[in-house]
Amino acid sequence: MSLSAAEPASLQIHELSYRRRIGILAICSMSLFIVGLDVTVVNVALPSIRIDLHASISGLQWIIDGYTLVLASFLLLSGSTADRLGRRRTFVAGLLIFVVASLLCSVAPNLGLLVAFRMLQALGGSMLNPVAMSIITNTFTVPRERAQAIGVWAAVMGVSMALGPVVGGLLVSSIGWRSIFWVNIPVGLVAVVLSLAFIPESRAARARGLDVPGQFLVIAVLTSLTFGIIEAPRHGWSSGLIVVAFVVAGCALAVLLVVEHRRREPLLDLRFFRSIPFAAATIIAVASFAALGGFLFLNTLYLQDVRGLSALQAGIDTLPMAVMVMLLPPISGRIVGRSGSRWPLFIAGVAMVTGCVMLTGMSRSTPFAWLFGAYMVFGLGFGFVNPPITHTAVSGMPRDQAGVASGIASSSRQVGQTLGVAVVGAIVTAGVGGRKHLNLASASHAGWWVLAGAGMTILVLGLISTSEMAIKSAARTAERINPEWLEA
């Protein structure tokens, strides 16, 4: 069964059996699993990649940030493309690109090609998660079933994060870093076959138009800003190249704001930011994933380069954090459903600040019990933060705009991870390069304070975004947006 171009997805979805809908959920979850696994697997392999490809710290940053940059840049475009061309078609294309790129990453002969193939991998990844969420939303039309499906979907990310360090460490220690990309190939190919067999094609009744200028400007802002932050320690903050990069980022951002304000169907709808909860959720998403990206980057280098652990040992040592991230989102989601986002965001902010502050004094001899405690506390905070981000982002929004709002929040997560790795990597590079007597552990102290600041941002904005004033601003924003879309 497949939909005609004009037939709304919901007409056919109602005909699907419960067993087939569960199968669709499993297929979509497989895509989230390989994308989520890829993040933590690659982090564990960074020290081995550095040795084999003779990479600098900034080179390692590009391995991570090249991926998240492309992911952040194309998430919204991929969602609207799927609505127009077909969700299953876009989803399968994303899987195939991800699989081919993973194979290319595994044979990359140098750092430049590895970064390029990682960016291709991210292009495929951008066509997976937002499209899979759209498929799930249109498959599970009963609110209670949809909530349960989204809960399973979110739990898969925790499972992939928990398995990633161990699977990655085992593969790197036994076979080598190139094997971490092999995991994606069989899972992705199975998902392709099952998608073609079980997922019905669907399109949006009214797809959003393409915003080519907006897409180009978003890429220009993110790329130039990230380049400036990562490369500044090597070239100098006042060098012409770095100054030009930051000027380009600023000018592109200014033009983006003007262009998006004037477009009828912008890639980035600036009207949403009149809602305090939405604006706060966007910044919270950036801050929380900046903390996560920085945490994984600094901790991986510390455990292997400073403490001399193998990739497998380092992966096992980070399990306290990963297990908390796996177990706590359902609890946070229940609290959000019963009493709102305030308490989960408060817990997340306090725990992430505490976990990062505990690591600001790390040295070559910091007891592992202290490290495990910090990892667990940080994991507690991150485990609580994701459900309220999505809830706060769509809180009070018109129902037909909830998908766009959550898509912007998803892009903000990737922007945050990109900036987190870029900033803390730049801090470590500057510290080690400028003062040779410092080891990586000492040079990372300032980075942990920056990440603690990200946690404090979550705490403060969590309180502001759930205030009565914020809730009223969301209602006013919805009233302004909805009539315009009804007329369209």
Residue 396: its pLDDT value, please?
60
CB 80 within 8 A of CB 131: no
Instruction: Determine the Cα–Cα distance for residues 191 and 465; give it in Å rounded to an integer.
Output: 39
Instruction: Determine the Cα–Cα distance for residues 398 and 391; give it in Å rounded to an integer.
Output: 13
pLDDT at 395 over 80: no
Instruction: Determine the Cα–Cα distance for residues 185 and 190; give it in Å rounded to an integer.
Output: 9
pLDDT at 10 over 60: no
Q: Please state the rounded mean pLDDT for residues 203-227.
A: 83
Q: Using 50, 70 and 90 to split pLDDT, how confident is the model at 484?
A: very low
Residue 474: its pLDDT value, please?
79
DSSP 209: P
Task: For residue range 332-369, list pLDDT tens digits in order.
Answer: 888 887 888 899 999 999 999 999 999 999 998 999 99
Q: Please state the rounded mean pLDDT for residues 438-445.
A: 81
Q: Using 50, 70 and 90 to split pLDDT, how confident is the model at 135?
A: confident
Q: Using 50, 70 and 90 to split pLDDT, how confident is the model at 176?
A: very high
Residue 143: its pLDDT value, please?
64
Q: Look at 106 and 26; give whichever has higher pLDDT.
A: 106
Task: For residue range 317-330, list pLDDT tens digits in order.
Answer: 888 888 888 888 88
CB 269 within 8 A of CB 403: no
Tell me the C-alpha to C-alpha distance, in Å, between residue 390 and each of 101, 267, 277, 415, 461.
30, 19, 10, 16, 14
Residue 334: its pLDDT value, please?
82
Mean pLDDT of the chain: 84
Task: For residue range 93-121, list pLDDT tens digits in order.
Answer: 999 999 999 999 999 999 999 999 999 99
Residue that is written with structure tokens 């033009």 in the block? 255
Residue 144: its pLDDT value, please?
65
Residue 397: its pLDDT value, please?
61
Residue that is written with structure tokens 């697997």 in the block? 41
Instruction: Determine the Cα–Cα distance for residues 34 and 185; give it in Å rounded to an integer.
Output: 9
Q: Look at 174 and 267; give whichever has higher pLDDT.
A: 174
pLDDT at 435 over 60: no
